[in-house]
Amino acid sequence: MLAITPISTTYQVFGLLHVLAAICAFGPLFLYPRMQRNGETQSIAKMHMRFVFPALTILWILGMGMAGIGKYDLAETQWVNAAIVVWLATMLISWFLIRPSIGDTGESARKKMSAGIGSTHVLLIIALWLMIFQPGGTTLK
């Protein structure tokens, strides 16, 4: 359906960059469990804050840019609002559960990181579901 709907080139470029940012933001998460089993907790936290956290920020900027270009009414687009909440939760988890492991190699930090990684995986699935199925209405006119 999207391929036959007329969409501006700017919107398409933002969409492409938004998807690439999502890949950069969530791709490394699939390496984390293996790295953690190898005892690389600090490496994970450093990579997360240097690569994933900025990609999540860019993801939000591009998403909001798409909402602006597409002239979405956020009050009537529940799936976009839900995606913003999921994004915010991902950022908070990154900051409060994963980031502390940069300087702390203790068991408590490792457990927080594990909880953060697992939660972020679940939030990725929720975000993908929201983007694909757009519950509560679509943005297509």
Q: How far apart are CA 74 and CA 82, in angstroms?
A: 10
Question: Is 0.85 topped by the overall pTM?
Answer: no
- Average pLDDT of 77-90? 93
Average pLDDT over residues 37-48: 87
Domain ranges of the chain: 9-133
Cα–Cα nearest to 63, from 75, 72, 52: 72
Residues 61-76: tens digit of each pLDDT: 999 999 889 888 877 8
pLDDT (0 to 100) of residue 140: 52
pLDDT for the residue numbered 138 = 56
Q: Which pLDDT band, with edges at 50, 70 and 90, does 6 fall under?
A: low
